[in-house]
């Protein structure tokens, strides 16, 4: 069944869109909140988009923390993570502590944590779980490490047993790294097939290859971050034969946006998904149901 209303063309139209689908709001599985000093450094990196990515990357929501929280609530985002990630050893444990404190003072934030292949990783991952972490994030390209590093095997066992989603940025676009691509993630999943992995950015640009992982492993999901947007279509276009596979994997696709460091309006991510023309049930699954299930939130309809 087609979606019952037109795609949102502005952020002000987003609430009417999800209400028209009968949803209580949006579950966005790919949002970043970071310590302010780190956030400013991240934005400075994207300000050099021409140098780093070959194209400008204007940060759309360069706002204070309180302004960003207010905007998410105005959009109707009822649950979102903070998704910290380290780029070197010695960062993960303190980022986890910061994220736990942020979640305690932000009730609609899903407490997030991260990790790095280093001595002590098992201990601080166990601590993060005990402190209430409900999902984890790793960034293979930024961290520059192999997720199949044997030092992480006990960590993947812990997270698989806890059934906590792990968002994995493993795609090779827009910047390829020594361990990006589907192969390292496939190696992890082969050893830990019950791990709940959420492939960020739909595995951009190796879309089919990352979807293959969701076919092979029944706890693999993919998030929509930047997928299908006009910006990404310039360098990682949507394969014409991909939408039917997305329809078949309706229960494995979750909303992600990369707020606040996206180079276009929040509404455009939803517009890009709407124009796939996969129907209202698919949109309901992606915008709320699947993320809510992974995070243990109530179903939208009784």
Distance in angstroms (rounded) separating the CA atoms of residues 9 and 159? 38
**Confidence grade of residue 1 (pLDDT, cut at 50, 70, 90):** low
What residues does each domain of the chain span?
11-292
What percent of the chain lies above the pLDDT cut of 70?
98
247 phi and psi, to 5 degrees? -65, -40
Alpha carbon of residue 165 to chain centroid? 10
Reported pTM: 0.96
pLDDT tens for 51-92 read: 777 789 999 999 999 999 999 999 999 999 999 999 999 999
What pLDDT, on a 0 to 100 scale, did the predictor assign at position 302? 44
pLDDT on residue 26: 98
CA dihedral 201, 25, 259, 157 (to 10 degrees): -50
- Looking at the predicted structure, is the pLDDT value of residue 248 above 90? yes
CATH 3.40.50.2300 fits 11-292, yes or no: no
List Cβ neighbours of 151 (8 Å cut-off, separation of 6 or more): 117, 118, 121
Average pLDDT over residues 218-233: 97
Confidence of residue 208 (pLDDT cuts 50, 70, 90): very high
Say how far apart CA 34 and CA 36 lie, in whole Å. 6
Instruction: Please give the residue that has the higher pLDDT: either 125 or 1.
Output: 125
Tell me, what's the pLDDT at 2?
A: 56
When pLDDT is cut at 50, 70 and 90, the band that residue 28 belongs to is very high
């Amino acid at each position: 069944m087609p979606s019952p209303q037109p795609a949102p063309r502005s952020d002000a139209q987003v609430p009417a869109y999800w209400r028209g689908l009968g949803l209580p709001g949006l579950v966005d599985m790919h949002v970043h909140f970071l310590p302010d000093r780190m956030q400013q450094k991240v934005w400075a990196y994207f300000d050099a988009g021409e140098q780093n990515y070959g194209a400008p990357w204007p940060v759309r929501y360069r706002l204070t923390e309180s302004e960003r929280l207010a905007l998410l609530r105005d959009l109707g985002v009822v649950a979102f993570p903070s998704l910290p990630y380290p780029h070197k050893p010695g960062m993960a444990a303190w980022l986890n502590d910061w994220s736990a404190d942020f979640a305690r003072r932000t009730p609609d934030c899903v407490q997030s944590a991260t990790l790095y292949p280093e001595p002590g990783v098992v201990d601080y991952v166990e601590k993060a779980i005990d402190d209430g972490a409900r999902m984890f994030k790793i960034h293979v390209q930024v961290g520059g490490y192999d997720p199949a590093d044997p030092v992480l095997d006990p960590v993947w066992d812990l997270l698989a047993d806890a059934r906590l989603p792990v968002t994995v940025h493993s795609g090779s676009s827009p910047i390829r790294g020594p361990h990006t691509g589907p192969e390292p993630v496939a190696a992890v999943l082969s050893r830990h097939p019950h791990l709940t992995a959420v492939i960020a950015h739909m595995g951009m640009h190796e879309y089919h290859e990352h979807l293959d992982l969701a076919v092979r492993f029944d706890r693999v999901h993919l998030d929509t971050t930047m997928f299908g947007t006009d910006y990404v279509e310039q360098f990682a276009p949507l394969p014409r034969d991909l939408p039917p596979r997305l329809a078949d994997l309706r229960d494995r696709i979750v909303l992600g946006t990369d707020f606040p460091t996206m180079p276009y309006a929040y509404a455009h991510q939803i517009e890009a998904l709407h124009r796939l023309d996969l129907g209202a049930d698919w949109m309901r699954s992606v915008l709320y149901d699947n993320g809510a299930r992974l995070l243990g939130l109530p179903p939208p309809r009784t």
